[in-house]
Amino acid sequence: MPAIAGYLTTLKVTGTTTTMSSEAMSTNSTVANTYKIDAAAKAIWGRDLSFTFYEATTTAGRVAVAASAISSIDYLFGKVTFGSTRAEPVTVSGGYLPATNAAGANTYNMVQSGEMLDDTDFTSTGWRSRVRGLKDVSLTVSRWDSIDLDYYNLIDSGAAVVMEVRPGGTGSSVAARGFYKIESDAHSGDVASLEASELSFMLDGSTADDFSWGVV
């Protein structure tokens, strides 16, 4: 894999939920019965929202797919997997989270970790044995400060946002997305330099799908 120039990276944060209706979805040829929303700008979905998926019929034009027929929903990349084949075209109605560039961001540090638990016992042959425990992701963002109160409000409300890190920017098709809560917003300044802040985010992961790398 070739080296990636850091300045190409894009870092995005989601905003207020926006309603969408009858958005087209295309089949994923690599995963059976999986469909992805066509509109890339609407591919991050609110995980607390309700979604209705429709399939074509020969009589009524389209009909809602029963909830029992849905195997899983990928809220971070706008995908749904059904338990069986559906009649195309498939569409979705619900709500998406518009994402914009994190204003003034100039450096980031994302750490994925897995706690290692020591399970060595008396049958050990002199080496420690371990099993992987809880997983976590942290994200620290440095940016030029501004007078907006967006991040202050996130601290006050405790609301989660989706952060996207895309190494290589628009030239890359792979991004890391996750639901995060902001832990701190530290400010610094100097008479001879720009005001700056450092944002610390912690993953708000309640399911295995609250953080993942995927194709955008």
DSSP string, 149-187: -HHHHHHHH---EEEEEETTGGG-SEEEEEEEEEEEEEE
**For residue 142, pLDDT beyond 90:** yes
Sorted by sequence, the CB contacts under 8 Å of residue 86 that are 6+ apart come out as 33, 35, 55, 65, 69
Average pLDDT over residues 28-55: 93
Indicate the pLDDT class of residue 3, thresholds 50, 70 and 90: confident
Average pLDDT over residues 12-26: 96
Sorted by sequence, the CB contacts under 8 Å of residue 146 that are 6+ apart come out as 103, 104
pLDDT in the model for residue 148? 79
**For residue 185, pLDDT beyond 80:** yes
Alpha helices in the chain (DSSP H): 150-157
The share of the chain scoring above pLDDT 70, in percent, equals 98
Average pLDDT over residues 66-76: 96
Amino acid letter, residue 44:
I
Distance (Å, rounded) from C-alpha 94 to C-alpha 81?
Answer: 16
Query: In angstroms, how far is the first alpha carbon of the chain from the final one?
Result: 19
Average pLDDT over residues 112-130: 94
Sorted by sequence, the CB contacts under 8 Å of residue 212 that are 6+ apart come out as 74, 76, 77, 176, 177, 178
Average pLDDT over residues 22-45: 93
pLDDT in the model for residue 31? 87
**For residue 58, pLDDT beyond 80:** no
- Strands, DSSP E only, in the chain? 10-14, 18-27, 34-37, 52-56, 62-64, 70-74, 79-82, 90-96, 99-101, 105-118, 130-144, 161-166, 174-188, 196-203, 211-215
**For residue 1, pLDDT beyond 70:** no
Amino acid letter, residue 107:
T
